[in-house]
Amino acid sequence: MNYSETLNYIHSVSNFFCKPGLERIGELCEKIGNPQNKLKFIHVAGTNGKGSFCAMTASILKEAGYKTGLYTSPYILEFNERIAVNGESISNEELCEITAIVKTAADTMVDKPTEFELITAVAFLYFYSVKCDVVVLECGLGGRYDATNIIEQALVSVITGISIDHTSFLGNSVEEIAGEKAGIIKNNGICLWCSNDEKAEKVIVKEAEQKNARIIKVDKSDLKVKTFSLSHTTFDYHCLTDVQIPLLGSFQPSNAANVISVVSVLRELGFEISDVDIKSGLLKTKWKARFEIISRKPLIIADGGHNPEGICAAVDSIKLYFGDKRVDVVTGVMKDKDYNMIADKISTVAENVFCITPDNPRALNAMEYAALFANKGINAFSFDDIDSAVKSAVKHSIENNTAVVCLGSLYMYKDVYYSVKNLKIGNI
């Protein structure tokens, strides 16, 4: 298969109407030699913050000299981003080669693997083939029955936090969702718990006790943020001072503190990671669609916040950087999210709202979304396509010297990014 055929094959595999469980991914991995059992993992679950945590952790490990795999989802611009080693995405040729091997195995199965299971197996085989020292492995959805949880052991299982999301799959309460996330904790393993939600913590502690696992709660009492700017954030944490991160957002210092905490665990396990490696790795971290500036003149920011907690974090960041000055918002949302609450939050910072329908079957119609804002007294407009919405928002931004913030769905980031790029403005 060539690259196009490979992607067509991957995306042709269904993710729906499949019985939850690890049987399919287990059978598939066994057929390709169980590469996951020959790798070391940092396994990461959580409702929000997983991606930033994984990117920062992988960057630090790379700086420390370890050949580091990174598995994330969904991709932002190109599919290959999901599988990377030392910051470099898997090449088209390598993706084709590895996928062909996995396809041969999958074709022999009666109960065919889902798309995510297939991609996960490809990632495992690739990371093993290039001899990764360690892999930072992000859960796709949930934890207990997520395909990534086929791994037998993890150096450390990380749970970044719990909030209500994906209720049709994970449950309708914090406790139910926490139970699914806690499923990644391994027998006699180590779990890093990064949040302070008491209801979720009780569930996670109970799971750890049942599995005789050590649980470490991240203590952020001495996290001191010194500067927030639209170029970087500076903070002190424990013995590290003047740590700089390029990732923007009010939430990123907390994410970085979680990362520094996991480094402490890795050091206990024998990893040689210096303070210089930590600071350099954090400074070099790149991660798209998390309060990311994609143009500076006019100022355009893209954020993939798509659930209530993520939207709240994005709105807090807007207030942090812009104070009382309102911004123009380009937004689309999925109809299975709490879009009324999301609209409420966005309305506290928006001057004008440019609504779009993201390219996803689950998307809320732009006209229906715009009506929510109009009912709250916010100028709201609906558009048939992302390009038109972006052009209109940018025009208004230039004429009125306002910033544009694009948020509500990771699925619209790519189109927003290229719409801005095609306008030939700012610096991307």
Do 261 and 363 sit in the same domain of this protein?
no
Q: Is residue 428 part of a domain?
A: no
DSSP character string of 283-334: HT---TTSSEEEEETTEEEEE---SHHHHHHHHHHHHHHHTT--EEEEE--B
Starting from the edge strand earliest in sequence, which strands make up the sheet with 404-407, in order? 292-296, 299-303, 404-407, 327-331, 350-355, 379-382
Instruction: Encode the chain (428 residues) as per-residue pLDDT tens digits.
Output: 999 999 999 999 876 556 789 999 999 999 999 999 999 999 999 988 899 999 999 999 999 999 999 999 989 999 999 999 999 999 999 999 999 999 999 999 999 999 999 999 999 999 999 999 999 999 998 899 999 999 999 999 999 988 755 444 444 688 999 999 999 999 999 999 999 999 999 999 999 999 999 999 999 999 999 999 999 999 999 999 999 999 999 999 999 999 999 999 999 999 999 999 999 999 999 999 999 999 999 999 999 887 888 899 999 999 999 999 999 999 999 888 889 999 999 999 999 999 999 888 889 999 999 999 999 999 999 998 999 999 999 999 999 999 999 998 888 899 999 999 998 775 55
- 228 and 338 together in one domain: no
User: At 278, phi and psi to the nearest 5?
Assistant: -60, -50
**How many Å apart are CA 369 and CA 289, to the nearest integer?**
22
Report the distance separating Cα 83 and Cα 100, nearest Å.
16
* Bridging pattern class, strands 233-237 and 240-245: antiparallel
Are 303 and 247 within one domain? no
Distances 247 to 53, 209, 228, 240, 265 between C-alpha atoms, Å: 11, 35, 11, 18, 23
Rounded-to-integer distance, Cα 147 and Cα 118, Å: 9
233 and 378 within one domain: no
Do residues 296 and 415 both lie within one domain? yes
The answer to whether residue 427 sits within a structural domain is no
Residues 309 and 229 in one domain: no
Residues 141 and 264 in one domain: yes
Q: Indicate which CATH number applies to the domain containing 327.
A: 3.90.190.20
Q: Considering 239, 265, 283, which residue would you say is the last residue of a domain? A: 283
Domain span at 304? 292-422
Domain stop point among 240, 261, 283: 283
